[in-house]
Amino acid sequence: MSTKTHQTIQTERGMQIAERRIPAMAAKAGHDAYRTALKHTGAVTLKTARGQIVERRLDGSETFIMNVPLGKRVKPGTILKRVK
Domain boundaries, the chain: 12-67
Contact 77, 58 (CB under 8 A): no
DSSP helix/strand/coil, 51? coil
Contact 68, 55 (CB under 8 A): no
pTM above 0.75, yes or no: no
Residues whose CB falls within 8 Å of the CB of residue 68, separated by 6 or more in sequence, listed in order:
48, 51, 52, 53, 74
Summarised one tens digit per residue, pLDDT across range 9-66 is 678 888 888 899 999 999 999 889 888 877 787 667 677 767 788 887 777 788 888 8
